Structure 1
Amino acid sequence: MSAADTNTGTTATGSEAAAWSTDPYADALRAGRGPLFLRRTDGWLLPLDVERWCARADAADLSALHRCEGSVLDIGCGPGRLVAALAARGRRALGVDVSEAAVERTLRLGGTALRRSVFDPLPGEGRWGTVLLVDGNIGIGGDPAGLLRRAAGLLTHGGLIIAETAPVDIDERVRVRVDDGRRPPPADGPRATSSHFPWARLGTPALLRYGRALGWQPVDQWEVAGRPFVALRRSTARVTRQSAEHTNSAAVTSSQRARNPSVDRAAYGS
């Protein structure tokens, strides 16, 4: 990664970038604690584990970092604990996040980060050894297949994705907004929906289905402290558009697929 590659440009746009830049999320990161949630349009709250994100990398995090290969791109890096941990070990790593507060905190920890969406142009495209999608960031954009395709364009030939999945068997696409649980939700109308953005939650079986349809093969699966992870590597086999479209149409709501649709464990992603 060259010096030019690490220029701290700002290009994050769209409803998702705006949502993660709002006061509840920025305030939580600056304070290092919650409460913080993703609120679905039906009012259901998914807790976000801000305290863990703002702490040092724990044993589960380190189990993923030890499996990284080459230079590492942490997508949705949040307050930067993984980027900082890699930097402290002499690894080349870059975090990208749409939140200014997240990037600021990552830089203070000694990591390198850009305020970007994963779908913006990024440094080193096609040259990263590992892409991290930890803390549930496989849900970014609400389109797991699209995110896996994007990761393929970021990685070098034979590169690795390490993703953390939901601790339940779920394949869910929803619209959510960032919520601290303290403020009244906006009244019905355009303002009530403008802050919502698409999100996805995948358990390991669902991620493996999406991945295989797009040419990703699992090379490792493990769990630490109740947090499941999957490592995927791109295969050389071509994937037809038909198989990809079939996977895109397979997502269903948590009420149909989740073993426990009211699970209230702290969320695995931001």
Structure 2
Amino acid sequence: MSLAFDPTSAYDAAFSGKATQVVGDSGGHEPFEVGVWSSDPDWIDHALFIDPCDGATLDVGCGPGRLVGEIARRDVPAMGIDVSIEAVRQTRFRGADALLGDIFLEIPDEGEWKYALLADGNLGIGGDPSRLLARLREVLSPDGVVIAEVAEHGAGLVREERQLLVEGRLSVAFDWAVVGLDAIEAVAAEGGMRVIGTSSVGGRHTATMIPISP
């Protein structure tokens, strides 16, 4: 096996179509669903993420842009953000704005976004979901909304290190987290957010959150 390489380069390789798996703390492997994320959005994507967004929307960890691309086609102001050059390139190819960068750094129009999306497990970015939600409080308008995909009830809160295995090359480990329906209220509260509803469609689950008033 080749020497490890940085996760951003691994994401670029994965989004360019190279066979990729996610390796967890226990050594278990699961597929990195590039084909799903690169396809057109399905009815579940519409129900959970696309249809609710009627104002300026930020898609955090947008990947190849299937969600933000569709939202932009509805003439709703929208932008994706991702650390992968290839993901941003593909999102822009779909006709949507996309920023190459880190959500924890300054982004355009801070404090003005109406919606922030955390689809496909992206609530786990950085390994600290409460910190991520606290950051989104700064990004959103005072009446803003976070729509985050969560795991099934009973999954709890799991923090772990993950790696990407791309055609025999293993990336450097990075922090990730998984939040279940049973843990999201506590995680949200720690991040200064309040869960106002959950949805389950086609075996996928989301929590809708708003900032807690000072």
TM-score between the two structures when normalised by the length of structure 2: 0.90
Gaps of 5+ in 1: 1-17, 186-193, 239-270
Q: Partner residue of 2:208?
A: 231
Equivalent residues in 2 for 1:239-254, closer than 5 Å: none
In the alignment, is residue 29 of structure 1 matched against residue 6 of structure 2?
no
* Structure 2 gap segments, 5+ residues each: 1-5
CA contact (8 A) 1:81 1:106 kept: yes
8 Å contact 1:138–1:147 — kept in the other structure? Answer: yes
Tell me the equivalent position of 2:188: 211
Give RMSD over aligned pairs: 1.9
The equivalent position to 2:101 in structure 1, one of 116, 133, 139, is 116
Kindly state the Cα deviation for residue 58 of structure 1 after the two structures are TM-superposed: 1.0
8 Å CA contact retained: 1:169, 1:202: no
1:174–1:198 contact (8 Å) kept in structure 2 = yes
How far apart, CA to CA, are the structure 1 residues paired with 2:203 and 2:160?
24
Q: Trace 1:192-211 onto structure 2 (pairs within 5 A).
A: 195-211=172-188
SS in 2 for 1:96: strand
- Normalised by the length of structure 1, the TM-score is 0.72
Aligned-pair identity in percent equals 34
Matched, 1:138 2:129: no
1 or 2, which has the higher strand percentage?
Answer: 2
Task: Give the letter aligned to residue 195 of structure 2.
Answer: P
SS in 2 for 1:159: strand
Tell me, what secondary structure is at the counterpart of 2:30?
A: strand
Which amino acid counterpart does residue 13 of structure 2 have in structure 1?
Answer: D
Cα distance in structure 1, aligned partners of 2:111 and 2:101: 17
Amino acid at match of 2:29: L
Report how many residues are paired.
208
Question: Which stretch has the larger CA shift, 226-235 or 34-43?
Answer: 34-43
Larger radius of gyration: 1
Distance in 1 (CA, whole Å) between partners of 2:25 and 2:185 is 27
Deviations along 1:15-63, whole A, 9 cap, x unmatched? xxx40322xx3233223xx642221243122332211100011111111
